Amino acid sequence: MSLQGKRILLGVTGSIAAYKSAHLTRLLIKSGAEVQLIMSASALDFITPLTLTTLSKRPVYSDFFDKKSGEWNNHVELGLWADLFIVAPLSANTLAKFANGLCDNLLSATYLSARCPVMLAPAMDLDMYQHPAVRDNLRKAQSFGNILLDAESGELASGLVGQGRMMEPEHILMQIERFFHHKADFKGKKVMITLGPTQEAIDPVRFISNHSSGKMGLALANSFKSRGAEVYLISGPISIAIDSADFYLTQVKSASEMYQAAEAIHGSMDICVFAAAVADYAPAKIAEEKIKKDDSEMSIQLKKNVDIAFELGKIKKLGQIHVGFALETTNEEAYAKAKLDKKNFDMIVLNSATEKGAGFQHDTNSVRIFRPDGKSLDSGLVSKVQVAELILDEIKNIPVWI
């Protein structure tokens, strides 16, 4: 999708992620946009204006008054020039200024003057990102109509692992493209997504589970939401924060809780996506007290869990679409096709548990999508955001889609 002729103001603030603004500038320029950069004073400590001037082919502004040219950088004109103002990375400090109307530099003055839509891509350490003050400021900025490009999870500059990384430039580009070529092709559709793992209790302190992070399910949720759908999430225990303002969220632990929640809303859904990694077995009995260690070996008897997709597949209504996932380590294609048939899916997304960069936990995935007519499509190794978009596009090729 081209951004030809679009005028984008790109604000850069003081964060280690400022180096990514060079890549973002390049991507925007490549897709045809005009890019004007504004840097905060502390951003200058992380990346040189020369790099960004060279990439954007325009002078970079950081102060009201340009000492070299003697020119006044007019924040009102900048705010009026742009079709979109994006601040990436957005530091906690600049966010606080935006949320509270503080205006002590060119960037914050331009923010207050801008009449165009504003996108915010925060970047900070995970504890900062979860601090109530930051959460409050983010909510406040969103209540002004600013579009939040939520921070991604992964390894942070501090060495800690969690949510706080600035959204990858490729993902930001996709959001910007989507913003300008907005497709509301799922408007009016109700979508249920199961995501994350389930936890099956052994005793009050132990459980059986798996490595699902919920990232794939959440990427799908964001795609459906941004394309106009009403999204109902049934999530097993995951550590990624889900913004309950965006989705109808039910949090569950076990497979049987997930089934009850899914069954309760299934009848009124247009599309159901089964992205959860549901435990197939659970302990036959949950010990009431913590099981004590003794000298002998022990075994736990397991009982079969309800197969949510299979049970709901039996009562799938005419016109309803069911999309399944398959995670395999051997005979991947044959097992996936068997599940497509057995669980009455309209489409199944096979991802490998052994391929590098695919499946559990990663921000990327590599999938093969099968349809009942035997047709299949490979995504290659791409971000989960891109996989989600591909799945939505494929859903529209299902014959029952109206």
To the nearest whole angstrom, how small is the minimum distance from the Cβ of residue 356 to ligand PMT?
A: 14
Q: Give yes or no for residue 309 binding ligand PMT (CB under 6 A).
A: yes
Q: Give yes or no for residue 36 binding ligand PMT (CB under 6 A).
A: no
Q: Which stretch binds ligand PMT (CB under 6 A): 36-44, 48-56, 170-178, 212-220?
A: 212-220
Q: Kindly write out the interface string for residues 352-381 of this chain, putting x where it contacts ligand PMT by CB under 6 A and - elsewhere.
A: -------xxx--------------------
Among 56, 199, 351, 379, binds ligand PMT (CB under 6 A): 351
Of residues 188-207, those binding ligand PMT (CB under 6 A): 194
Q: Give yes or no for residue 254 binding ligand PMT (CB under 6 A).
A: no
Q: Give yes or no for residue 39 binding ligand PMT (CB under 6 A).
A: no
Q: Give yes or no for residue 179 binding ligand PMT (CB under 6 A).
A: no
Query: In terms of CB distance, is 20 or 215 closer to ligand PMT?
Result: 215
Structure tokens at 311: 């049970």
Q: Kindly write out the interface string for residues 131-160 of this chain, putting x where it contacts ligand PMT by CB under 6 A and - elsewhere.
A: ------------------------------
Query: In terms of CB distance, is 79 or 359 closer to ligand PMT?
Result: 359
Query: In terms of CB distance, is 37 or 192 closer to ligand PMT?
Result: 192
Total of chain residues touching ligand PMT, rule CB under 6 A: 28
Query: In terms of CB distance, is 11 or 359 closer to ligand PMT?
Result: 359
The DSSP string of 15-64 is SGGGGHHHHHHHHHHHTT-EEEEEE-GGGGGTS-HHHHHHHHTSPPB-SS
To the nearest whole angstrom, how small is the minimum distance from the Cβ of residue 362 to ligand PMT?
A: 7
Q: Give yes or no for residue 208 binding ligand PMT (CB under 6 A).
A: no
Dist CA 211 CA 285 (whole Å): 23
Q: Give yes or no for residue 173 binding ligand PMT (CB under 6 A).
A: no
Token look-up 């049934």 returns 234
147 CB contacts (<8 Å, ≥6 apart)? Answer: 117, 118, 119, 120, 175, 179
Half-sphere exposure of 312 (CA within 13 A, CB side): 30
Dist CA 192 CA 194 (whole Å): 7
Query: In terms of CB distance, is 107 or 278 closer to ligand PMT?
Result: 278
Among 84, 192, 276, 392, binds ligand PMT (CB under 6 A): 276
Q: Give yes or no for residue 327 binding ligand PMT (CB under 6 A).
A: yes
Point out the residues that are catalytic. 210
Q: Give yes or no for residue 162 binding ligand PMT (CB under 6 A).
A: no
To the nearest whole angstrom, how small is the minimum distance from the Cβ of residue 39 to ligand PMT?
A: 35
Q: Kindly write out the interface string for residues 279-298 of this chain, putting x where it contacts ligand PMT by CB under 6 A and - elsewhere.
A: -x------------------
Dist CA 337 CA 371 (whole Å): 9
Q: Which stretch binds ligand PMT (CB under 6 A): 138-146, 243-251, 318-326, 394-402?
A: 318-326
Q: Give yes or no for residue 321 binding ligand PMT (CB under 6 A).
A: no
Task: Provide the binding-site residues for ligand PMT, judged by CB under 6 A.
Answer: 194, 212-217, 255, 274-278, 280, 305, 307-309, 324-327, 339, 343, 351, 359-361
